Structure 1
Amino acid sequence: MVQVKMKYGIDLGTTNSAICRMENGDPCIKKTDTLKDTLSSCVSFTKKKVIKVGDSAYNDLRQDKSRATKKWSRQNENVFIEFKRTMGLDTPYETSNMGCSFSSEDLSSEVLKALKSFVSDDSINAAVITIPAKFKADQIAATKRSAILAGIEHCELLQEPIAASMAYGLSSARKDGVWLVFDFGGGTFDAALLKVEDGIMQVKDTEGDNYLGGKNLDYAIVDEIIIPYLQENYVIDKILADDAKKQILRDAMKFYAEQAKNQLSFKPHCDITSQLDEFGEDDEGAELELDIVVTQQQIKEVVAPVFQKAINICKDLLKRNNIQGGDLDSLILVGGPTYSPVLREMLKEQITSNVDTSVDPMTAVAKGAALYASGIDSEVTEKISFGTVALGLSYESSSVEVVEFVSVKLLPDECTGRLSSKVFVELIRNDRGWSSGKIEINEIGDVVECQLMEGKTNVFTIIAYDDKGTSIPCFPNEVNIMQGIVVGNAVLPYNIGIEVHDRSLNRDIFIPLKGVEKNQPIPAIGVRNGLKTPRQLRPGMSADNMVIPIYQGEYNVEGTSAIYNDHVFNVSINGDDVPALIPADSDLDIILKVDRSQQMIMEVTFPIIGETVEKVIEVAQRSTGVDIYDLQNRLDEAKQKLISLQSSPAIKESETIEVQNMLNDITGRFDGEKDSDDGKMHLLADLRRAFLKIEGVEKEHEWDSIEAELRTEFDRLEKANSDLGSKYDNQVEELRRQTDVVICQKDVQVGRQVLADINSLFITVTLIYQLVGFVRHYSQNFRQYAWKDANRARQLLNQGMEMVNNNPMVETLHPLVCAVIDVIDMPENEKPEF
């Protein structure tokens, strides 16, 4: 079994996919069964239980969606597209013809199988598959599982804009400068900023939106052009009032919206005309039909706001890297929607005039993936035929030098048949302009200095000879080296960190791990020391549990509430994992290893016993149980927080305008997205971003809030002490002095401590009222709490209520309250503390 380089790159797209193979040093797109460069990422299930993928499936899509309007029911759907938008979710795609449901990764695997079938002369078991730059951990894991289902045993994942930049860099004469890849696909948008020096490309930063793409353009056309036309000509009020029927109508009209969008990329106007008897009836029984003329100006008004979101993402990306649009040497367009003249004009007006259309937007990603694959050793080895000499090769697959070194050695254990007493090899460049001559090799090997042609892919054929000078078969028999371009490692699109309990704040926060921050080249290793165990871990006791939640976060998220970041996985360590006792509050060190495909392994070290526990992060499908009412409540909560910020005299309007715009956008999209799984995830992702922005504004004015609270709480304390006999005048005066000092110093940490001391003294001053309030609250809300011993708790609270009703004393009521606290079943913190 001999190690070989990978040679296949696959663009697994939302609406279209492609496969590319390295042939004689060049990336060659393999044509589909309809002789196209791309395959529609559409899967259809027939009544005979045949699975169709590609154009034939897409032809079924229109009929499948229009048929649903006949009975206004989805029960007989059998054609699916854009399932990439739900990768990582457990969304079921129910098909009546098959009598079962499929997941997004099941459907994606069918697309991969179809792509593999276009290569008849090879068995594909290793490939580079591209993913959006902003794919989350669960989406990445789902893509890996899809590859395994399709028989791709070794799957490397590569971010789409990086793949596109490789294809561009190989063909472009530009070998220096700053590039921005603008990748607007069918379902996702990515932007990547690259710095290129002497042909060496390094990704500096990435940004994007997993729920922004051609699908959003299509539905915008449906909602703002097609449905208004239907409202003018038909009675569809009841259909639109029913969320399920409205979505069926939108899905049926999407085909025509996409058709208009594509045609108007090249024509000034187009006709949208449906077939007879294609759709169901309106509220009054009239058959729905389409007959509309749409102009480029109409489309521009509808799609420009969608494109603007992508452009704004690019503006933010450039701004945080201190780059002006005029500093860009190339803005590289990738993805079908980038053919739009509307988008191209907007980019030239708002970003840069250096918009580059030299690469094929539809195939650049697949070609770049194949180029990337050619530099990776495949984990899937190949068995060589009888009588073939096995060679071990080592070399850099890309270079900016004119000479590159190739190490060649003999692998006698892998050779079959009788091996010659001496073996020679010769490397011949395919243009016949250079040859190494015959070089004798053995198990130790030799190094060959290969002369490269500049700005090209250099292919060297390897010829082996026996001791008599007769050529003999060898494997591998080819070396490919790209000259003029070197691509640095892909980078992490997010900060990776963990949720810990911050003792000083008394809340759970997100802390990044050092070494796996956003834009860190991968593979990478993250470290966090100085943490503490929240409880003891006794060997063999599975009930002794510590949980380390892993999260992904954006920029400037250290110290934010972890729930506003994206949860990846809970690493659980219990007594079964440790060989000796680990007391509570013991030191804890964490190492997280991230490979090229962003797969993770965590090592947790307990210095007190000198042991390390290793956990593989196996990310499963995420539940689609995002509740609409929960989303609405979160939106309402965000709006209330915004109102609170806006009402503060210390906060300027300019500080909240971005949050206001975000919430307006979410509100405007809410009804259109709340009934689909990817729509709900889109809303949830944007709500999290809004909350993080709100927290950011609050943090900027943290001292203002603490100062206001200090003044309010001290006044409350002073009044309570005066009203209740002035027993604590000395302590109150001391706290007055401390409050005045900290307000002058504006020290947040000391301010928190003084505030805690004020609250503590207030409880002491008003202790009898605190105790009475405690008893009344728990007595009236008894069923809302979990109790270790409910009968004992009820008995104690009944006794307490008797005391409350008979002028209680602190000396008698305080012990009873302590006894009640002892039987409250309070969950212990299981997260690491710091």
Structure 2
Amino acid sequence: MRDTIDFGIDLGTTNSAMAVVQDGEVAVVKNNDGWDYTPSAVWIPKPGVMYVGRRARERTERDVDNAHAEFKQEMGLDGVARKFRTAGVSLTPQQLSAEVLKSLRADAAHQFGEAPPAAVITVPAAFRLHQNNATSEAAALAGFGACPLVQEPTAAAFAYGFQNESSQAYWMVFDFGGGTFDAAVVSTHEGELRVLDHAGDPHLGGKLIDWAIVDRVLAPVAAREFGLTGFTRDDPRWVVNFTRLKWAAEEAKISLSRTEKAELLVDIDLEDGQTESLEYALRRDELDRVAEPYYNRAITLCREALTTANLHPSDIDRLLLVGGTTLAPGLRERLADPDSGLGIELDHSQDPSTVVARGAAVFASTVPLDRPKVRPAAGEFGVDLRYPRTTSLTAVTVAGKVEASGAQDLTGYHVLLENSTGRPPFVTGRISLDASGTFVTEVQVNEQTTATFEIRLVGPDGQSAKITPDSISITHWLNEPAGPVLTNSIGLSQADRTFAPILAKGATLPATAREMFHTTVALHRADAAACIRIPIVEGERDRAERNMQVGLIEIRPKDVSIDLPKGSDVEVTIEVDESRRVTVVADVPLVDEQFEAEIDLSNVRPPDVTALQRELREVQQRLDRLRSQVDPGSHRAQNRLDELDSQRSLSLAKTDVRNAATDEGSAAAADARLRDIQAELDEVENDVQLPGRLAELDGAIAQCRELVSRHGDTADRAELADIERRAEQVRREPATAVVDQLMDRVAELETLMMKRDGTLDISIFYWYRANQDVLSQPVKARALIAEGDDAIAERDFRSLPGINQRLRRLLPPEVGDPAQGGVQRRQGTRR
């Protein structure tokens, strides 16, 4: 009986595969067609009839209304479903993925006599929380129990590292699959295989190259040859034609991995109802030309992962090729080139189509099966054991607790663990139990073998007793896989809209981290409209809105027993378990209250097409403006713009936006690409604005210096002196983030001085006055502004706090309020 999961599944965009560890060896579970992989496709030709795999994949070209594939990129998007017209049903991406998983599970049941109760399932390294959550949901729908998730490049590294004799090496996984790309830097050190850093794009895969062949080569040829008007992918009239062209492009791309030219023959339905055949000879150099921006993007992500890991391509011993796209000779030549690629020795010793499933199985063999505890029968005994199922050590600790069917003093009993087939045979000495039945011992295992130890329980009378289980197995590996890691950083959106990561990407799961923050405004119980909002954010970008919000904590006056002054401590704790379930709690010591975030991963909807089109226009305008503003001497800003051009980032985003109306996966990809471009433009803008920001800092310091001279004490003068010293340093070594921090410190010191001389409420009122056009109820807003003007003219400053409070109630929630906020990180509190 298995006591570890052992089965691993690569749930892929184009194809899926399952592997199993059996007797220390990894094997692929073949499907009913005798294939190593199953196409991720579902066909429902009529009610009550469903096909998954090869037959479904073949029908996606001929029966577009009833067969679907490539739904992985839509995982976790609320409201998205694929329609099967004849059967009159719609299935979500999770349900479709579940059907693929059911098919794989049935293949395992056919081969091994029973369906596996659980499996390790792989996900792209760049998958977000809601996508991981959707994958777990699909596993549950498929009938699996708890299924650990592991990142695809990590699984591939496990497959390469399984029984590999490298004891001190660095590898890089280059995983270019059908729908996603992942890169991971991996080290083998002292028997442990560990991922140092990873980078990826969940919307970069071989299917984009297929569509690029269609959009840039085949569709223009068909339009010219047959006189087709408006022959573009986003026109619903041509859905069938573009589906045929897409699959033909994919088959030609696969063929070009072995030949220099591929002949295509595709049926094209014309506007008059006739059908013509499109003949075209696609050359390998044409494929490489249209694929170049995708290759560039993948190589850039690899370089980013290396930089984060503080490594250079010359430090990497080999590049592990994973995914069908890596079979392309043009890509391999590019990767081997140290100038245009990475210049790392290529390793394609594993089958790129099944290596991820193999690695998932390797990891699965380290994960114990979750079995219900069985009480021993009368006169028999059970034992609860704790030991590693796999190890890179030869001496292994085994702990256990023996239990009888009823209350019994186990003093006088002892156990022995024996491996009669070991080299040499091994047996422990007599291990005495204490009264509660517990024991600890050490066993020896031989290298690169599976050791099976018989467990014997002997009573005080010297007679053996029946014990369950009566044996355990421990497998020795040269490189043992480390645990699963966090895909993306999780933290807070602070009051200044910057991202404060708490739990960093790459943390081994389960993981917990906490940090101290402070409130940026006071929370008065008398003000029912007040609120402190703490958005929970996932991502890596410095600006919080460039990442994805996954939860929210709100602290309102009714939630606290006393007023909460500005600057109150808020300790935020984030926990992520091995199944990537997230818990976020904010603890406010002053009121002895805890507030838990509402994490809703089921309500992520595909972006609105109109909003995407608007954002695309804004990005284009912003890019044009920054190009005109970049100083020729600003090499850093110019290099960023050149990098965007080399990856054709904006062009790819335009394509995704254009196709978003008919493809929710393209909508999600467009949203992600536009976020990435905006984040890059943020950095360019920072570089462009830095000289002006420095001048602004100088002016703010001068103004603050005057206030401190009139109202400051010794501590205030010391704070100002430190700000001035650091400002001088940042002039020598410009850094936008440091300038922003100093501006915040100046603003805080200036606010303190204004409180002392009574001008703070005036300043807040003038902010409302300058922004009155965004206030709701314009008539009421104008009346309050007039009331405030009169109060200032009459020097009735005591009236201003009440007027400001009423103005605040007219402020829309999405507009920042100078008197309402969230939290900011306290310095030196990370632990």
TM-score of the pair, normalised by structure 2: 0.81
Equivalent pairs counted in the alignment come to 766
| Equivalence map 1:743-758=2 (5 Å) | 748=739
Distance of 2:747 and 2:322 partners within structure 1: 55
Residue of structure 1 equivalent to 2:353: 362
Distance of 1:219 and 1:169 partners within structure 2: 34
* Amino acid paired to 2:484: A
Residue of structure 1 equivalent to 2:437: 444
Name the SS for the 1:194 alignment partner: strand
Deviation at 1:244, TM superposition (A): 3.1
Distance of 1:536 and 1:740 partners within structure 2: 32
RMSD (CA atoms):
4.5
* Amino acid paired to 2:256: L
Per-residue CA shift, 1:495-543, capped at 9, x if unaligned?
Answer: 32101213xxxxx221122xx123333322222213217453869x997
Residue of structure 1 equivalent to 2:587: 605
Residue 679 of structure 2 is aligned to residue 692 of structure 1: yes
Deviation at 1:263, TM superposition (A): 1.7
Unaligned segments of structure 1, at least 5 residues? 66-76, 503-507, 716-729, 732-737
Q: Is the 8 A contact 1:180 1:328 kept in 2?
A: yes
Per-residue CA shift, 1:665-711, capped at 9, x if unaligned?
Answer: 23322443222222222222222222222322444565411355589
| Equivalence map 1:519-534=2 (5 Å) | 519-532=506-519, 534=521
Q: Is the 8 A contact 2:551 2:597 kept in 1?
A: no
Change in 2 beyond 3 A, CA 1:464/1:360? farther
Q: Is the 8 A contact 1:273 1:292 kept in 2?
A: yes
Residue of structure 2 equivalent to 1:498: 492
Q: Is the 8 A contact 2:495 2:822 kept in 1?
A: yes
Q: Is the 8 A contact 1:12 1:129 kept in 2?
A: yes
Matching residue within 636, 648, 653 for 1:665? 648
Residue of structure 1 equivalent to 2:198: 206
| Equivalence map 1:451-490=2 (5 Å) | 451-454=444-447, 456-460=448-452, 462=454, 474-475=468-469, 477-490=471-484
Residue of structure 1 equivalent to 2:564: 583
Q: Is the 8 A contact 1:742 1:751 kept in 2?
A: no
What is the percentage of aligned positions where both structures have the same residue? 26
Residue of structure 2 equivalent to 1:725: none
* Amino acid paired to 2:392: V
Q: Name whichever of 157-166 and 393-402 sits farther off.
A: 393-402
Q: Name whichever of 100-109 and 582-591 sits farther off.
A: 582-591
Matching residue within 106, 113, 116 for 2:95? 106
Change in 2 beyond 3 A, CA 1:256/1:542? farther
Residue 67 of structure 2 is aligned to residue 61 of structure 1: no
Distance of 1:281 and 1:252 partners within structure 2: 13
Residue of structure 1 equivalent to 2:705: none
Distance of 1:385 and 1:773 partners within structure 2: 74
Q: Is the 8 A contact 2:4 2:389 kept in 1?
A: no
* Amino acid paired to 2:806: D
| Equivalence map 1:272-421=2 (5 Å) | 272-274=264-266, 278-282=267-271, 286-349=274-337, 350-381=341-372, 390-413=382-405
Distance of 1:384 and 1:82 partners within structure 2: 47
* Amino acid paired to 1:287: T
Residue of structure 1 equivalent to 2:548: 566
* Amino acid paired to 1:36: W
* Amino acid paired to 2:99: E
* Amino acid paired to 2:17: A
Matching residue within 674, 679, 693 for 1:706? 693
Change in 2 beyond 3 A, CA 1:774/1:609? closer
Q: Name whichever of 52-61 and 349-358 sits farther off.
A: 349-358
* Amino acid paired to 1:379: D
Distance of 2:480 and 2:233 partners within structure 1: 56
* Amino acid paired to 2:678: F
Residue 235 of structure 2 is aligned to residue 253 of structure 1: no
Deviation at 1:9, TM superposition (A): 1.6
Distance of 2:430 and 2:384 partners within structure 1: 15
| Equivalence map 1:153-168=2 (5 Å) | 153-168=145-160
Change in 2 beyond 3 A, CA 1:48/1:690? closer
* Amino acid paired to 1:667: L
* Amino acid paired to 2:473: V
Residue of structure 1 equivalent to 2:122: 130
Deviation at 1:361, TM superposition (A): 1.6
Q: Is the 8 A contact 1:203 1:490 kept in 2?
A: no
Residue of structure 1 equivalent to 2:637: 655
Residue 670 of structure 2 is aligned to residue 680 of structure 1: no
Q: Is the 8 A contact 2:384 2:400 kept in 1?
A: yes
Residue of structure 2 equivalent to 1:78: 66
Name the SS for the 2:495 alignment partner: strand
* Amino acid paired to 1:370: A
Deviation at 1:159, TM superposition (A): 0.9
Deviation at 1:13, TM superposition (A): 1.2
Q: Is the 8 A contact 1:552 1:565 kept in 2?
A: yes
Deviation at 1:772, TM superposition (A): 12
Residue of structure 2 equivalent to 1:73: none
Change in 2 beyond 3 A, CA 1:774/1:304? closer
Residue of structure 2 equivalent to 1:734: none
Distance of 2:438 and 2:805 partners within structure 1: 75
Residue of structure 2 equivalent to 1:735: none
Distance of 1:673 and 1:428 partners within structure 2: 60
Deviation at 1:587, TM superposition (A): 2.0
Q: Is the 8 A contact 2:153 2:182 kept in 1?
A: yes
Q: Is the 8 A contact 1:600 1:616 kept in 2?
A: no
Distance of 1:681 and 1:55 partners within structure 2: 27
Q: Is the 8 A contact 2:640 2:684 kept in 1?
A: no
* Amino acid paired to 2:571: D
Change in 2 beyond 3 A, CA 1:210/1:430? farther
Residue of structure 2 equivalent to 1:68: none
TM-score of the pair, normalised by structure 1: 0.80
* Amino acid paired to 1:704: P
Q: Is the 8 A contact 1:3 1:392 kept in 2?
A: no
Per-residue CA shift, 1:428-462, capped at 9, x if unaligned?
Answer: 366775343796776635455433332x2414153
Q: Is the 8 A contact 2:423 2:446 kept in 1?
A: no
Deviation at 1:180, TM superposition (A): 0.4
Change in 2 beyond 3 A, CA 1:746/1:601? closer
Deviation at 1:122, TM superposition (A): 2.5
Q: Is the 8 A contact 1:800 1:816 kept in 2?
A: no
Per-residue CA shift, 1:639-675, capped at 9, x if unaligned?
Answer: 4255246425486255234235426823322443222
Residue of structure 2 equivalent to 1:52: 51
* Amino acid paired to 2:347: D
* Amino acid paired to 1:583: L
Name the SS for the 2:303 alignment partner: helix
* Amino acid paired to 1:309: R
Distance of 1:773 and 1:616 partners within structure 2: 33
Unaligned segments of structure 2, at least 5 residues? 703-709, 712-720, 732-738, 826-831
Name the SS for the 1:126 alignment partner: coil
Residue of structure 1 equivalent to 2:535: 549
Q: Name whichever of 339-348 and 315-324 sits farther off.
A: 315-324
Matching residue within 773, 780, 786 for 2:776? 786
Name the SS for the 1:704 alignment partner: helix
Q: Is the 8 A contact 1:304 1:342 kept in 2?
A: no
Distance of 1:194 and 1:232 partners within structure 2: 49
Per-residue CA shift, 1:581-613, capped at 9, x if unaligned?
Answer: 352433211111122233211121111133334
* Amino acid paired to 1:551: V
Distance of 2:700 and 2:429 partners within structure 1: 88
Residue of structure 1 equivalent to 2:717: none
